[in-house]
Amino acid sequence: MAYTPLPINPRGSALKGVRGRVLTYKADPFLVDARDCYDYYEDGIVVIQDGRIINVGPGEEIVRQYPRLQDIDTYADAVIMPGFIDCHVHYVQAPMIASFGDTLLDWLNKYTFPTEAKFADRGFADDVAKVFFRQLLEQGTTTANVFSTSSAESVDAFFEESERYDTRMISGKVLMDRNVPDNLKDRSAEESVAVSERLLKKWHHRGRQLYAVIPRFAPTSTPKQLELAGKLYQRYIDQGVYMHTHLDEAENEIEWVKKLFPDQRDYTDVYKHFGLVDRRSVMAHCCIVREEEWQTLHDSGCGVAHCPCSNLFLGDGQFKMWEAKRHDRPVRVGMGTDVGGGTNFSIPRNLSEAYKVSMLQHHSIDALKAFYLATRGGAEALHLEDTVGSLAPGYEADIAVLTLQPTEFAKWRMKFADDIFEKLFVLMTLGLNDMNIATYVAGRKVYDRERDKPYMYASDFPNTKYEG
């Protein structure tokens, strides 16, 4: 597709180029013919100014159009693609990732809640936020929809670290006023929602940060808290505030919800009853979903986070991709790592598990579909598809660079893969941890595996001016 480039801003920053194989999506390959879904340039370039992409296309042709484009990072044998989008992850669970598994509810009580209670301590929260961001950037993830926990400290620590990198992130205070230990439990529904609103006013649209109203899941909120959370969400939905929660993850969880909310038709209806199901709602898991619920998720424009590593680890249910993507009522689906239920921070590794979960249902997810889910699909689930998740003029310049030679063996194996999607399928299926070699956030290379200082904050970069 021929894009209309953005004009150069003569008073803006110096131009930056990222050159190599470039892959980007413009439509959903689960719904639209494959040829109309993506652009791929064997020698492509992304041109960036002021943190935004101003042009994308064939390398030689575009370089000729920009005589002032001097600063170009060139990658051989790598794929330049939009930064990955993690639609559901708990940063506060990084300290307990890979704790011995059990069913969801036992695992929450035994490992998760005691860890989250530690986040009342701001120093602890700061330390974990720092580690978490490094993990994300190392894996090429540039946007995430993130659970903190009930303490305001956990929210401030998260957003402050995000501001240092200038990443586009979504988070908020987790609301939970019952069925959790006292040291995590909100003192009252009213107070908890007031704290959430205070944090919303502080963080929503501050730089690239976005706020979500986050009832943990129906069983850990009283009806009063869900009601007030729904009202808060509805008051701010037109300003782009999100609602983020868990839905239909495991059998025993669904049974529990039925007992706690006997008047509602199903789990989705519980959230809907309280005004929590709407066009900026993101539901994690959705493994065991009734047809009426899919219809509601479609009608409301909700996003769904598919978290296969976590679902397999906790023995939940199997996400039904082909139900979610039924053509007469498709649902927006992105990928989630769900750390610490998930066992790693890598979106490509989750793609490999998504493939296997799908194969158990006799459907396959090829690399074309998989990397759509990792990028533009995630942006669609978060209603950010005009902002991030694609490499095109006007988009924020968040980029991952995947090497096609992560190991000697992978390099050898690639010789037998023909086109780019065969190579990407090998990459995701081998599931190696070091496939991402560089990550750009708003045009700055904040992670570079080869650099002496692999991680850099936005303030570590000089402000260079355009000289036309």
56/229 with CB nearer Zn ion: 229
Residues 6+ apart with CB under 8 A from 43: 19, 20, 21, 58, 59, 60
Told to check if 104 binds ligand GUN by CB under 6 A, we report: yes
Least Å from the CB of residue 336 to Zn ion = 7
Residues 6+ apart with CB under 8 A from 194: none
Beta strands in 355-450 (DSSP E): 399-403, 436-441, 444-448
Told to check if 108 binds ligand GUN by CB under 6 A, we report: yes
Q: Which of residues 77-96 bind ligand GUN (CB under 6 A)?
A: 90
From the list 338, 385, 398, 448, which residue makes contact with Zn ion (rule: CB under 5 A)?
Answer: 338
Residue nearest to Zn ion (CB): 338
Told to check if 39 binds ligand GUN by CB under 6 A, we report: no
259/327 with CB nearer ligand GUN: 259
For residue 248, the Cα-to-chain-centroid distance in whole angstroms is: 19
> How many C-beta atoms surround the C-beta of residue 60 within 10 A?
10
CA distances from 349 to 312, 352, 429 (A): 13, 5, 7
Q: Interacting stretch for ligand GUN, rule CB under 6 A, among 5-13, 52-60, 104-112, 117-125?
A: 104-112
Q: Interacting stretch for Zn ion, rule CB under 5 A, among 44-52, 74-82, 338-346, 385-393?
A: 338-346
Residues near ligand GUN (CB under 6 A), total: 11
Q: Which of residues 269-298 bind Zn ion (CB under 5 A)?
A: 284
Given ligand GUN, Zn ion, none, residue 216, with its beta carbon under 5 to 8 Å by kind, binds ligand GUN
Q: And the tokens for 464? A: 């260079």
Told to check if 246 binds ligand GUN by CB under 6 A, we report: yes
CA distances from 52 to 18, 128, 374, 399 (A): 12, 29, 20, 11
Question: Is there a contact between 455 and 446 (Cβ–Cβ < 8 Å)?
Answer: yes
Q: Which string of DSSP letters, residue by residue, matches 303-353? A: EEEE-HHHHHHTT-----HHHHT-TTS--EEEE---BTTBS-S-HHHHHHH
Told to check if 215 binds ligand GUN by CB under 6 A, we report: no
Told to check if 177 binds ligand GUN by CB under 6 A, we report: no
Least Å from the CB of residue 446 to Zn ion = 26
85/89 with CB nearer ligand GUN: 89
Give the three-state DSSP class for 243. Answer: strand
Beta pairing partners, 29: none
Least Å from the CB of residue 319 to Zn ion = 13
Told to check if 249 binds ligand GUN by CB under 6 A, we report: yes
Task: State phi, psi for 151 to the nearest 5 degrees.
Answer: -80, 140
Give the three-state DSSP class for 63. Answer: helix
Identify whether 340 is preceded by a cis peptide bond (ω within 30 of 0): yes
Site string for ligand GUN, 337-376 (x = CB under 6 A): -x--x-----------------------------------
Told to check if 436 binds ligand GUN by CB under 6 A, we report: no
Least Å from the CB of residue 285 to Zn ion = 7
State the residue for tokens 């299926």: 429
DSSP 288: S
Least Å from the CB of residue 71 to ligand GUN = 42
From the list 24, 49, 55, 112, which residue makes contact with ligand GUN (rule: CB under 6 A)?
Answer: 112
Q: Kindly list the residues in this chain that would bind ligand GUN in the complex (CB under 6 A).
A: 90, 104, 108, 112, 216-217, 246, 249, 310, 338, 341
Residues that bind Zn ion (CB under 5 A): 284, 338
